[in-house]
């Protein structure tokens, strides 16, 4: 039972012991608590953990690979995960938030004239002018930095890197945000150049490393960055030529967070496997492994999607926060003992938005459903 979930797979250039991946997650907790959360997830039996938001530049959001303390933190994470025969992947990330726009809002936030929701909207509004007017020298410096950061990640013990195709990569790719008139704007291929150069920089820096691409897709009113489904026939071959070995497919960001992390009552994405239709679109144009994500909680459903070949791996975040032992319980035939994520978003997304950290209602001290 659940033979496909349990089966190993060649994912890009690495071997995974099963088909379950922990999706990149922002926790907003202390480094000690972060390490312990990752340890529990690795001990629970998943095949790989993707560490989210690893900055590619020396200055930026998140823990830096470029500092002695930050590098040591990532080394500890890698060593911890490897203890459980689990792989670890660094999600190389470049924020598209305009620091100057953020600084202008600081006083309003401190005086409570600007709410956190208002701040997010203001920063989103600043993305387009920031991307459009960025000097060419800075653009090229950032794309080159993906290669430098990948080398450091490998030295810290990471088995794989994921190029975060959303945020700055996705904003450059999107005609909604990118209004440049140079080699990085205008046509689809030009708008995709930033992402393609980022992937190429990693491949050039480390020819042997496995490169995953978080591929953001926007649909109608949902998502502003990333690619449209009709772009995929052009983009996927270009990404493969740049060096991509696999794809992590999801909804594009820069929208209400409840769209990209949808609750069970979401009008468009309330169903199990809500983003898998995007994987269907991607599968038309690539034979590379595709990882699906989006409200995956039920073993029978996950097994069916994997067995049919709709996806090659299944990524989970909230479900493994609800029960890090989900893989072990599935493989032991103890599915009736799984604590299922109910996709309420109360202590995970809610905790992150309240700046109390990403947790789960099942954790000690959290409110019950």
Give the residue numbers annotated as catalytic, written as ranges. Answer: 167
Supply the DSSP string of 314-369, one letter for each residue: EEESHHHHH-TTHHHHHHTT-GGG--------TTTHHHHHTTS-S--TTSTTSPP-
Q: Two tokens at 304? A: 């069916």
Q: Which residues contact 189 (CB under 8 A, 6 or more apart)?
A: 234, 238
For residue 89, give Cα distances in angstroms to 96, 185, 285, 301: 22, 30, 24, 25
Distance between CA 211 and CA 205 in Å, rounded? 12
Is the Cβ–Cβ distance between 316 and 293 less than 8 Å? yes
Strand partners, 38: none
Distance between CA 88 and CA 369 in Å, rounded? 32
Pairing label, strands 48-55, 87-93: parallel
Is the Cβ–Cβ distance between 290 and 246 less than 8 Å? yes
Distance between CA 244 and CA 214 in Å, rounded? 10
Nearest alpha carbon to residue 164 among 229, 97, 211, 233: 211
Is the Cβ–Cβ distance between 305 and 295 less than 8 Å? no
């Amino acid at each position: 039972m659940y033979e496909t979930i349990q089966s190993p797979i060649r994912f890009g250039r690495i071997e995974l012991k099963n088909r379950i991946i922990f999706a990149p997650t922002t926790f907003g907790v202390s480094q000690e608590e972060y390490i312990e959360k990752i340890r529990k997830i690795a001990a629970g039996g998943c095949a790989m953990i993707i560490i989210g938001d690893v900055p590619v530049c020396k200055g930026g959001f998140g823990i830096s690979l470029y500092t002695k303390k930050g590098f040591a933190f990532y080394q500890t994470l890698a060593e911890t995960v490897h203890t459980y025969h689990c792989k670890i992947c660094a999600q190389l990330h470049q924020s598209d938030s305009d620091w100057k726009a953020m600084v202008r809002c600081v006083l309003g936030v401190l005086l409570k004239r600007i709410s956190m929701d208002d701040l997010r909207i203001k920063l989103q509004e600043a993305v387009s002018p920031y991307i459009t007017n960025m000097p060419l020298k800075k653009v090229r410096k950032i794309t080159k930095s993906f290669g430098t950061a990948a080398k450091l990640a490998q030295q810290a013990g990471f088995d794989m890197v994921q190029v975060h195709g959303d945020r700055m990569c996705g904003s450059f790719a999107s005609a909604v945000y990118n209004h440049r008139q140079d080699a990085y704007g205008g046509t689809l291929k030009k708008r995709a150049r930033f992402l393609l150069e980022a992937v190429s920089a990693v491949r050039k820096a480390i020819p042997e490393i496995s490169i995953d691409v978080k591929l953001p897709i926007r649909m109608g009113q949902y998502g502003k960055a990333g690619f449209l489904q009709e772009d995929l026939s052009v983009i996927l071959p270009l990404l493969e030529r740049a060096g991509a070995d696999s794809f992590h497919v999801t909804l594009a960001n820069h929208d209400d967070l409840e769209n990209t992390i949808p609750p069970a009552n979401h009008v468009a994405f309330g169903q199990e496997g809500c983003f898998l239709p995007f994987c269907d679109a991607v599968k038309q144009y690539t034979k590379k492994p595709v990882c699906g994500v989006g409200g995956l909680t039920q073993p029978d459903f996950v097994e069916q999607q994997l067995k049919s070949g709709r996806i090659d791996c299944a990524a989970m975040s909230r479900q493994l926060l609800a029960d890090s032992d989900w893989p072990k319980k599935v493989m032991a035939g103890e599915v009736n003992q799984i604590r299922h994520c109910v996709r309420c978003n109360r202590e995970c997304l809610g905790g992150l938005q309240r700046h109390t950290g990403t947790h789960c209602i099942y954790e000690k001290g959290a409110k019950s459903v």
